[in-house]
Amino acid sequence: MATERTFSIIKPDATRRNLTGAINAVIEKAGLRIVAQRRILMTQAEAKIFYAVHKERPFYGELVEMMSSAPVVVQVLEGDNAIAKYREVMGATNPANAAEGTIRKSFALSMGENSVHGSDSPDNAAAEIAQFFCGNDIVG
């Protein structure tokens, strides 16, 4: 299996409830390594760029507002098959459909306030990592 990197965000609903450590524990228990991590207040401009793929969706404005409403923790995760593995660990976008033991089942509040984001493809992982980290920030 190939070692990969994926991009993760611990979202405002989770940082507000002081869940960064609890979520990181699930990530690490699943065998993923946190090789870069920074707590930031995402600007609306950054959130608009990050979620540009959703700009025609009815929830886009709400999503941009929510992502810049409180601190987020941006991360790079590394491990075997990290992209698919982290999506499994996160669970379904809608927490009502998420499997037991997943981050979203355990912590998410709703489809919008779903506690974490993870890249969905190698190309998106590379682009998302590059939006928030440069090479020297990532120490594997």
Binding site for ligand CMP (CB under 6 A): 54, 59, 63, 93, 111-112, 114, 117
Calpha distance 34→28 (Å, rounded): 8
Structure tokens at 110: 């709703």
Query: Beta partners for 79?
Result: 4
Q: Select 1 or 83, whichever has its Cβ closest to ligand CMP.
A: 83
Task: Give min distance, CB of 139 to ligand CMP, in A.
Answer: 25
CA distances from 11 to 2, 6, 75, 98, 135 (A): 28, 16, 11, 17, 23
117 assigned to active site: yes
Q: Select 42 or 140, whichever has its Cβ closest to ligand CMP.
A: 42
Catalytic residue among 117, 118, 132, 133: 117
Task: Give min distance, CB of 120 to ligand CMP, in A.
Answer: 8
Task: Give min distance, CB of 94 to ligand CMP, in A.
Answer: 8
Give the up-direction half-sphere exposure of residue 74: CA atoms within 13 A in the CB hemisphere: 19
Q: Which residues are catalytic, by number?
A: 117
